[in-house]
Amino acid sequence: MTGDVWLPFPADEVPGLPEGLDYRFWDGDSDFPADPADCAFYVVPYAKSAEVCVRPLPRMTSVHTVQTLTAGVDHVQSGLKYLRPGVQLCNARGVHDASTAELALTLTLASLRGIPDFVRGQEHGEWRTGFRPALADRTVLILGYGAIGSAIEDRLVPFEVARVVRVARSARTTERGPVHALADLPGLLPEADVVIVVTPLTEDTRGLVGADFLARLKDGALLVNVGRGPVVDTKALLAEVDNGRILAALDVTDPEPLPRDHPLWQAPGVLISPHVGGPTSAFLPRAKRLLAAQLTRFAEGRPLDNLVLTVG
């Protein structure tokens, strides 16, 4: 393969990269490192805005592969129309499984056990004891049962949950048990004590967690979103948490970042973290291993892993 490879890390900081490729370092700066028309393999900068990520795409007339460092690819979707047919879009499946699953469990436990209230009590020197719900013996529904959803279940099992209900775009069977289709949600939601949303953002999932969805949850249920903010209808969620019927723990919101004066900040029973499911110490080594493996396949002309779609 000929052409430049654009990396969001200096090439000498990525062990195992194949020789013979021309590496260019670009992490979203205003100036491009070279002519985008010469780029054959574009690794999208991590944790940058969609505007930054798609900016070079209209000029990447020779690109073969667009590789994200995220599991979701919604931040580059708007730029795909500029690419010629046949360009492959690959994601970072496997890179964020551990970190995102850790945060999903953290948010679940923190919300159920009332950790935010303890923190507020500590700030005021108040001993806020009381009876709190446990995760043990609860039914947890995972909405979006892919690699991250499976990693979340790995971490739920030692906490002695009563049952894990798995839901994905289409039904299938796994070693752990059945995965239900989205169409089954109406009958499954009333059983759930905790719903963990980790589904990607697509036209099918945008607003999926809306008024009808939330109304089917039992009183006192907990909604955890570590997927994408627009999967949840914010207005509908506010209506449910404002009256205290359900709880919510959100790593992602709509809008995002959440404006300072947004009512979600002050809504009762809502715990918010600032989209930190992926950026942890686990990210860099896993991301660099993925890039080394993908670029080795690319240099050798072998099929790439994590193919999401082919343009055209």
Domain range list for the chain: 4-95+281-310, 97-272
- Measured distance CA(185)–CA(312) in Å, rounded: 32
Looking at residue 62, what DSSP letter applies?
T
**Position 2, amino acid:** T
The CATH H-level superfamily of 97-272 is NAD(P)-binding Rossmann-like Domain (3.40.50.720)
So what's the pLDDT on residue 2?
A: 75
pTM, 2 dp: 0.91
Class level of CATH domain 4-95+281-310: alpha beta
- Tell me which residue has tokens 């300072």: 260
Helix axes 97-112, 147-156, angle to 10 degrees: 50
SS3 171: coil
Torsion sign across C-alpha atoms 105, 106, 107, 110: positive
**Average pLDDT by stretches of 10, the chain with 312 residues:** 91 97 97 98 96 98 97 94 97 96 98 97 96 97 96 98 97 96 97 97 95 98 97 98 97 97 97 95 96 97 97 94
Q: Do domains 4-95+281-310 and 97-272 have the same CATH topology?
A: yes
Burial 280-310 (b: 16+ CB within 10 A, else e): eebbbebbbebbeebbeebbeeeebebebee
In degrees rounded to 5, what are phi and psi of residue 208?
-60, -40
- Measured distance CA(1)–CA(301) in Å, rounded: 7
- Measured distance CA(142)–CA(267) in Å, rounded: 24
So what's the pLDDT on residue 1?
A: 62
- Give residues with Cβ within 8 angstroms of 86, minimum separation 6: 64, 310, 311, 312
- Tokens in use for 273? 């973290």
So what's the pLDDT on residue 157?
A: 96
Contact 76, 39 (CB under 8 A): no
What region, left, alpha or beta, does residue 311 occupy, with left being phi > 0 and alpha being psi -120 to 50 degrees?
Answer: beta
SS3 294: helix
- Measured distance CA(240)–CA(247) in Å, rounded: 8
In degrees rounded to 5, what are phi and psi of residue 83?
-90, 150
- Measured distance CA(250)–CA(238) in Å, rounded: 12
Contact 250, 225 (CB under 8 A): yes
- Measured distance CA(305)–CA(294) in Å, rounded: 7
**How many CA atoms lie less than 13 Å away from 88 in the CB half-sphere?**
15
Contact 65, 83 (CB under 8 A): no
Task: Enumerate the active-site residues.
Answer: 275
